[in-house]
Chain A
Amino acid sequence: METQASQVEWKKGSAELLILSLVEARPRHGYEISKLIEQRSRGTVRFHVASLYPLLYRLERRGWLCGRWVEKNGQRRRRYYRLTRQGRRVLAAQLRGWHQFVAGINRITEAENA
């Protein structure tokens, strides 16, 4: 129970970073982002639509993502999100911070459990 609560908090703290990372290489739509999070985390991290889309809209409002409807032949139109220049800078800063944070946590926990 405690672990589950912690995971929720970790997920909240890393959600922006996860989404920004996934659209770094190319624009993706919401379902694709959610599937990639689930697959790459091997089911550890999942986002429901009730969390995913409000977060996408928030990142878009901040100017970190840019959403655009794209229509392809024979398919329904989809909204693709791409990383903006500002989003790219934010992602780089968040990644640096994240690595430092994880390294710090590892140093603490490893020292205590050594």
Chain B
Amino acid sequence: MPEWKPEIRRRLAPLKLSPTREEEIAEEIAQHLDDQYQELVTAGSPTDSAFRVTLDQLKNEELLTSNLRSVESDLYCKPGGLGSSNLLGGVLQDIRYVFRMISKSPGFTAVAVLTLALGIGANTAIFSVINGVLLNPLPYKNPNQLVAVKEHDSLPNVMEIQRQVRAFSQGGGINVEPMDYTGGAEPVQVRVGLVNAGFLETLGVQPMLGRIISPGEDVHGGPPHGYHLFSRPRGLRI
């Protein structure tokens, strides 16, 4: 079967259509010419004669270009054309085209997707390390040695886990929850962090006032106030 698309594309080139649209038109017209050529050959025409007769459909070089120019420029440029409000229609058409192409070569698609997945995964992993270590390290001493474990356990349970697990040199727990403070002029809701004795030491931070809780003082009922609550002009003092 002769290849018609180059001839058609040559006539479409001055229109500067999107590749998808150009391919669509070229495919449709090439199919028309294929049908005509096949019919002539089936009817007994020699192939070179059938080729010439079929190509006659395009003999006027300018006709197809000029006829399409007005339609396509309207279609893609004017309000209401595919270029504006029907943009979604064009996108959907492109998506359908993509899936059609994918289904035609599943092996290539699988290799491409796998390559992309591995590449993206490796990049993400490397960026996570760079982000954590170089760009945004935690504001604590030895942040690369810290491990956070989120559990919905009470502090005594956390301390029990801490005693049993020997993989870490040090550990501590914090339980943050909203509470009502009623010791001032009016009740205030505050976020309270209940910590155990090893918490601040593990992070390597010092309290702004006072001292670190010692293991002997690690008893229920003695949470230190946060700086913001402490500094509020409500007469609150430790």
Contacts and interface: CB of A to CB of B under 8 A. Distances in A.
Tell me whether chain B's interface is mostly helix, strand or loop, or mixed.
helix
B32 interface: yes
Interface in B44-80: 57-58, 60, 63-64, 67-68, 70-72, 74-75
B202 interface: no
A50 B31 contact: no
A61 B45 CA distance: 38
A49 B36 CA distance: 11
Contacts, number: 53
B75 A61 contact: yes
Contacts of A48: 57, 60, 63
A78 B31 CA distance: 8
Contacts of B224: none
B25 interface: yes
Contacts of A49: 29, 32-33, 57-58, 64
A54 B74 contact: no
A75 B62 CA distance: 32
Tell me whether chain A's interface is mostly helix, strand or loop, or mixed.
helix
A30 interface: yes
Contacts of B72: 57
Contacts of B60: 48, 50
Contacts of B58: 49-50
Which of B25, B28, B63, B71 gathers most chain A CB within 10 Å?
B28
Contacts of A34: 32
Interface string B80-117: 01000000000000001000100000000000000000
Contacts of B36: 31
Interface residues of A, number: 19
B81 A79 contact: no
Given A54-B71, A58-B71, A79 B28 contact: yes
Interface string A65-80: 0000101000010110
A78 B74 CA distance: 24
Interface string A10-52: 0000000000000000000011001000000000000011111
Interface of A: 30-31, 34, 48-55, 57-58, 61, 69, 71, 76, 78-79
Interface of B: 25, 28-29, 31-33, 35-36, 57-58, 60, 63-64, 67-68, 70-72, 74-75, 81, 96, 100
